Amino acid sequence: MEIRHNWSVSEVKTLLEKPFMDLLFEAQLVHRQYQPHNHVQVSTLLSIKTGACPEDCKYCPQSAHYRTDVEKERLMEVERVLDAAQKAKNSGSTRFCMGAAWKNPKSRDMPYLKEMISGVKNMGLETCMTLGMLNAEQASELAEAGLDYYNHNLDTSPEYYGNIITTRTYQDRLDTLSHVREAGMKICSGGIIGMGESTNDRAGLLVELANLSVHPESVPINMLVKVKGTPLEEVEDVEPFDFIRLIAVARIMMPKSAVRLSAGREKMNEQMQALCFMAGANSIFYGCKLLTTPNPAEDSDMLLFKKLGINSQQVAQKPDEIAENELLGRVVERVASRPTADDLFYDATV
């Protein structure tokens, strides 16, 4: 399958509306062509500075604009961060993500952030941070300190964005991603489903991500966690099959990216999570809390992995798996060019 950067909203909407089984079949073929089989990368996310954020993101309990139960906290001491990172590694995480509720980091914060990065990397963990907007100089500083990934979500489509956030523009977000890429770091960027957006908006979000000059290395797909006190606390729940469809289309559009099940997983039963993995999700956040929202317990994740035969540790592909992937690539091309969409079978002689 050709990796593209020229998707249209109408194309993506057509994918989202395909028969469910056909869509999962296509997504799984793409997944097996480009990703290790039965592997899920495990990350841990820690809030290193909580609450009192000046942004007005309507989904966020950390915004200073809304009355929620989140208590504001100062930037966490470096020692506490490193202690949490060690515990995450001991529990099986391979990447440690640090999040701060800021519009953007200040100069006074940078030495502490760089010390955190250095300490976590010395443990053999990959490092990721989400600190709000970055200018080019800040991105370079973090990259020089050794930061591997920077997370900055686009949240939704450009058209729907103004309904959710007014304190920073969509272009501000794209500019931050550009600074991160130019500094040599990997990008983690995705969005949130269930904020009242339309199918067109969901398609538009994926188009923005997939049409970047380089696909994000990691694409977190969040299902809205409704929090009392935020403007979205009464919004309608996401239909589970619609969420799984989005995972599948993200996999098809960005074959080499890690597609991460992020916020909202605590509300998903095992069957829904299994279908998400079938659709191409191959990364999760691990631990009982994501910043300020609940997440499944570590034990339940490991039990689910065992039931599904999923290996959470990175493994090298064997020669026979590489050959199988080449065959699957040819199958994907045949499926994509098939004249009828309602046929689930393919030519075994391909």
Is 276 annotated as contributing to ligand binding? Answer: no
Lowest mean pLDDT among 54-68, 106-120, 142-156, 181-195: 54-68
Contact 196, 237 (CB under 8 A): no
Percent of the chain predicted with pLDDT > 90: 65
pLDDT tens by residue, 205-221? 999 999 999 999 999 99
pLDDT tens by residue, 250-294? 999 999 999 999 888 888 999 999 999 999 999 988 754 444 455
Domains in the chain, CATH or no CATH each:
9-296 (3.20.20.70)
Contact 168, 130 (CB under 8 A): no
Question: What residues act catalytically?
Answer: 53, 57, 60, 97, 128, 188, 260
Residue 121 has pLDDT above 90, yes or no: yes
Residue 325 has pLDDT above 60, yes or no: no
pTM of the model: 0.83
* pLDDT value for 99: 92
Tokens of 160: 């729907």
Q: Could you tell me which of 195, 199, 190 has the C-alpha nearest to residue 217? A: 190
Lowest mean pLDDT among 8-22, 28-42, 43-57, 119-133: 43-57
pLDDT tens by residue, 163-173? 999 999 999 99
pLDDT tens by residue, 76-106? 999 999 999 999 888 888 889 999 988 899 9
Is 288 annotated as contributing to ligand binding? Answer: no
Mean pLDDT of the region 11-18: 98
More confident residue, 65 or 237: 237
Backbone angles phi, psi at 190, to 5 degrees: -150, -135
**In this structure, what is the dihedral angle of CA atoms 6, 12, 13, 18, given to the nearest 10 degrees?**
140
Name the E strands within the chain: 41-49, 95-100, 126-130, 149-151, 186-188, 191-193, 218-223, 258-261, 283-285, 289-290, 293-294
